[in-house]
Each structure stands twice: as structure tokens, then as C-alpha cells.
Structure 1
């Protein structure tokens, strides 16, 4: 079930740069009739400048940002929210869940070549393509006890969104663990 009748969905669309988090998140939010937020907008300016300079963020850089992400998710729990957030490591997702326990994750994945091509084509984003490798190295896929689904971004975006929503709906209430939607 996507969410109980008394609760609106709290969804984090996660993955590395180029996975399509923002586009997919916007469309999921539109289908569900809830707010969309890009977690990149919650980064402090120092983080943005660091990434724009080609320097990967450290965990110390990320913790305050992840707290902000968790607070935003918690504040929107009653009205629903979809947030695009890299959430690459289990510890990062745990930090979000500590503040917003009802969060469900949608992990978007794709072949490295597709991700690299997408990142290269983006204009005006502060995340340079040369940091993709560090994100792939840091990525920890959803563990069996995490509440989330894995969705391939192969195919048209409408199909990706439909697979993500169907996979989320397949989660039983309070069920923990990833469900694949390939």
C-alpha cells in the first residue's frame, strides 16, 4: 500500500546524479497530488560551492543537510511530499528516517554510461560530471530492512513513474525491504 488512508505519502526519490530523481519525483508528486521538493535546494551555499568546484562532500558536510531533509519530510508528513535526494548511503537514509519515520524510498538506477551521458547533457547544475564516479563508489543499495523499492530508469519516463508507483503500492503496511521494479 502506498500510504494508509489517514496518512499522505512521504517519498524520497534517491540515486546518483543523472538517475532522473528530479524529473521522476516531480511526476510522482503530480500523480499523487502532493508537493515536490528537490533536496539540492536545501544544501547550504558552502556545499554548493564545494561541489561546483569539483570537490566531493564529506559526511561532515552532509549531516546538517540531511537533518534539513529529514525535518522537511517530517513537517510535510500530514500533507504528503515527494523529495529528490541522493541518499546514497544507508547512514544518510537512516538520518532521514530518524526524523521522518514514514518515509519510503524509490531508488532509481541505470547503467553507468546512461548516467554519465545524462550528467554531461545537463546545463546549469552545480554538480559536475566528474563527481559521478565518487557517487557511484559511495552508493549503498537499499538493504532488506529498509522501506523502499528499486526502479530501473530504462524506458520512457511515464513507464518509470508507473513502475515506481506500482512498486510502492505493493509494499504492505509497515513492510520493510526493497521491492524490485525492473
Structure 2
């Protein structure tokens, strides 16, 4: 059984081929040359960070299926400076168009020591920003971005740092390593 931890850069598709017409976009195949592995879950093209890949269908389901409620931790740069009311809303669950989210763990954090993003996040001199750490246990489409927007703080940069017990520790952008599936 193979399990790969990959630090996905911004702009890379979470698949091995790009079926879209037009100029080719970077895919997992540009970074990972291991046959017969597939992403366990997804990470949007405009998001960065931890992506797990495996050749084991059961492990893939355990990681990706929402009924297992695997915790996923994100470092999120948001517009503005969320107060305790906004963070408490995230902690209780946020009403989105597709229903209430499960309660999340949410806290403000110091700016993390991350790699530079290419292209860089567009900064506005008149609008403050800060970082929060957000842990969710479900995986709706663009959920973290929708949650932060729902509490009045749109996401500027999104980095998934941890899935269950696996994290990005020691992986620079675009790097991968094999890990124990246990």
C-alpha cells in the first residue's frame, strides 16, 4: 500500500491529466511519477498544501468520505481581522446555501512561515488581513472559502496543513514523500 504526502502548489490541478481545451495547466503528473496512485479528496486549483495520494481504495475512502469526519486543518489568510464573534460563528457552524456546516475549530494565529505564493496574494493598503487556523470535519465544495466569507472575512490564501495525523511538516512546496498509512 502506497501513501504519498504532497505539498501542492497554487495553480496545480488535483488530477494527473488536464482535459480542458487551451493551454496546458500543471497537473499532479508534473510532480509525481508514481504509477496507480489517486488523490484521496481534492484541493482546489487556487488552494495550496497537503494532498494525500494512495493506491488503496479503502484508505482513499476513509480519508475522503465525509462520514468518517477526518479532521482537516487549514491555515487561512483572510481579509480583515475576525473578532471573537466571527470566530465563535465558525466554531458553532455557519449557515451556507447548502445547509449548516458542522462546528469547526477556529483561532487567530501569527503569520505562518510559509513559502511565497506565485502569483502573490494581492494586498490592499487600506484593508487589513490576518491568519486563522480552521479545522473542519467535512469537505463540501470550497467550504472553507464559503465559511470565512459567511462571517465577513473572505479568504485571500488557503493552505491545507493537516489531514488526520498527516501534515506538511518538512515538505516544501512541490515536494512529496511516502508515509505510513497507519
Q: TM-score, normalised by structure 1?
A: 0.27
Structure having the higher helix fraction is: 1
Q: TM-score, normalised by structure 2?
A: 0.27
Structure having the higher strand fraction is: 2
